[in-house]
A and B are shown apart, each in its own frame.
Chain A
Amino acid sequence: MPALLSIEGVGLSRGGNEILAGVDLAIEPGEIHSVLGRNGTGKTSLACLVMGLSGYELTRGRILFDGKDIAGLSISDRARAGITLAWQEPPRFEGVSVFDYLSLSADGKPDRLDPREALGLVGMEPDLYLNRMLDEGLSGGERKRIELASVLAMRPRLAMLDEPDSGIDSLSIDTIDRVIRTIVKRGAAVLLITHRENLAEIADRASAMCGGRILKTGQPDEIGRFFRNHCEACAHINAPEGNGYRVVDALAFRGPNPAPSGEGGLGK
């Protein structure tokens, strides 16, 4: 089956620093794929690059969505093609009600999800929230759930969820799991960005990321072990060659495990 999203040898620099140093990653239709890595390893930058946010321009490689190069597409065009991103820290909109926010997410789509239903799917009581303003008295966790609901309402083909569990109490991992499965059930793929191994394990496949590269892709439990052994105690933070570290140094840090091989590999 052709990949829905194909990231091929992608590089990204910002402010003179190389953030992504040749990322290769493929997401299949309907797949839940988690990208697991410590903070600062380039996971969010990768999602921002795919979404086409300003300040995130390819320095090399290409990104294909549905087989088409999306380099020239604006954020809006990418969204209309079916790509969306749920931010780790959703912005606060003044004077916009929850209902309006969820409605505009779905605006114009014939198969739109009703805001009431979208809220219900993230475990929020619609009658308590639909008329509330996004900038008034909502906790970080509530805003995060609303962000997930807006992704649901949009019915994307690829939903990138950046640290969806941050700011949400631990009991709600189940909620995130349910939301992700709902998105998938409606025909979309999910790119799940996280630094938590237990969250990464709800995926079909996972990739470990460090130093702006995908180090290894495989089954979530396998990648989880890899992350435990190689990444958790590693001091290496997003610093590709030239900044005093090499990715291979990070892998050597713990010693006993052999350097990984296979998809993603050790970088170039």
Chain B
Amino acid sequence: MTQTLDYAQELDAIARAYAASGGDPSDFHADRGGLLVVSGNRALLGRGAEGLTIESEQLSDGVRARIVAHSGAIIAEPVHLCFGMVPVRGVQRILAEFVIEEGASVRFLAHCTFPNAVEIRHIMEGTVEVGENARMEYEETHYHGETAGIETLPKMRVRVAPRGLYRSTFKLVKGAAGVVDLDYDVTVAEEGIAELYAKIYGKGDDRVKVRESINLEGRGSRGLAKSRIVVTDRASAEVLGEIVGAGPGSRGHVDCMEIIKGGKAQAVAVPLLRVVEESAKLTHEAAIGSVDKRQMETLMARGLSESEAVDVIVRGLLR
């Protein structure tokens, strides 16, 4: 039997889930700033702001959203997005289109929350257009409860126009991760900048796969793909950080650190740099292993136990 919640109950449930993921439910009722709250395949709340339009459409298994920051709009307040499901089973597909027009600037704080997940599939297919001299920051924090019964498939295709900036942070550090397959692809035009950050803590039987790819097409474009992954128990992680240096004078860096914390955890890091323009310069650093001994001993020399020291280091990495 399927239980159907009425609007108020569902809003209340998703607000609690939002809080569990670190969000502040008072964001839902603030009288300023953009907002989109999606529970399952229903957009419960949506509001634009000056210079910002948010439209949504219900799908059978999710929501299609179009978010536009209009030309020249400097949106001071962060735009809050909440995508979640309260039931234990189901599919949520979010088709999101972000258009940040020329000279606009906007910051999104997204919370994806599935506190009761037993068998959930969360699919995010996003496209992003960052216009000339525009700026978009996107911070996405996930919370999947403690049972790991979720498959998370975020896929973003981003284009950054000349002198635009795109910065995204994907964070899943509390509770179980489940199966994560993150796939971000960014193309950067002349003097544009792309920065991709991923921070994930895998436990139990979690499986984490991260692909961050940046194509530095334009002259003087810049790219950074940085990931911090911690795996413990039997969890596994595979990180591919890929940058192509195609634009004259483009500069890119892949920085991947994966920490294995005991148990039978496994980690793979593959930095892939491809230079097709002689004046481009790409670098990478990748480290996989246990917690840095020197850091740990420094903290222990201040009186922390070994496990307390590891905890401080891991929390810092995933902060």
Contact = CB atoms under 8 A, between A and B. Distances in A.
Given A54-B293, A76-B306, A95 B299 contact: no
A7 to B, nearest CB: 18
Interface stretch (A104-112, A182-190, A204-212, A216-224): A104-112
A144 to B, nearest CB: 13
Nearest to B317: A94
Contacts of A109: 303
Interface string B293-318: 11101111111111000001101111
Contacts of B29: none
B290 to A, nearest CB: 12
Nearest to B303: A79
A54 B299 contact: no
B293, B305, B313, B316 — which one has the most chain A CB atoms within 10 A of its CB? Answer: B316
Interface residues of A, number: 27
Given A91-B295, A91-B298, A94-B228, A104 B319 contact: no
B317 A80 contact: no
A252 B305 CA distance: 47
A95 B318 contact: yes
Contacts of A93: 295, 312-313, 316
A96 interface: yes
Contacts of A79: 300-304
Nearest to B295: A91
Contacts of A54: 293, 297
A74 interface: yes
A54, A75, A79, A107 — which one has the most chain B CB atoms within 10 A of its CB? Answer: A75
A74 B295 contact: no
Nearest to B319: A95
B312 A84 contact: no
A154 B316 contact: no
A85 B299 CA distance: 10
A213 B156 CA distance: 62
A193 B251 CA distance: 42
B6 interface: no
A75 B317 contact: no
A150 interface: yes
Nearest to A92: B295
B140 to A, nearest CB: 18
Interface string B221-254: 0000000100000000000000000000000000
Given A91-B294, A93-B295, A95-B315, A150 B228 contact: no
Given A91-B295, A94-B228, A51 B316 contact: no
A211 B318 CA distance: 44
Contacts of B301: 51, 75, 78-79, 83-85
30 contacts: A51-B297, A51-B301, A54-B293, A74-B300, A74-B306, A75-B301, A76-B303, A76-B306, A79-B300, A79-B301, A79-B302, A79-B303, A80-B303, A84-B301, A84-B302, A90-B298, A91-B295, A94-B228, A94-B317, A94-B319, A95-B316, A95-B317, A95-B319, A100-B312, A104-B302, A104-B312, A105-B302, A108-B303, A150-B302, A154-B302
Interface of A: 51, 53-54, 74-76, 78-80, 83-85, 87, 90-91, 93-96, 100, 104-105, 107-109, 150, 154
List the 8 closest A-B pairs by CB distance, nearest first.
A95-B319, A95-B316, A75-B300, A79-B303, A96-B316, A105-B302, A91-B295, A76-B300
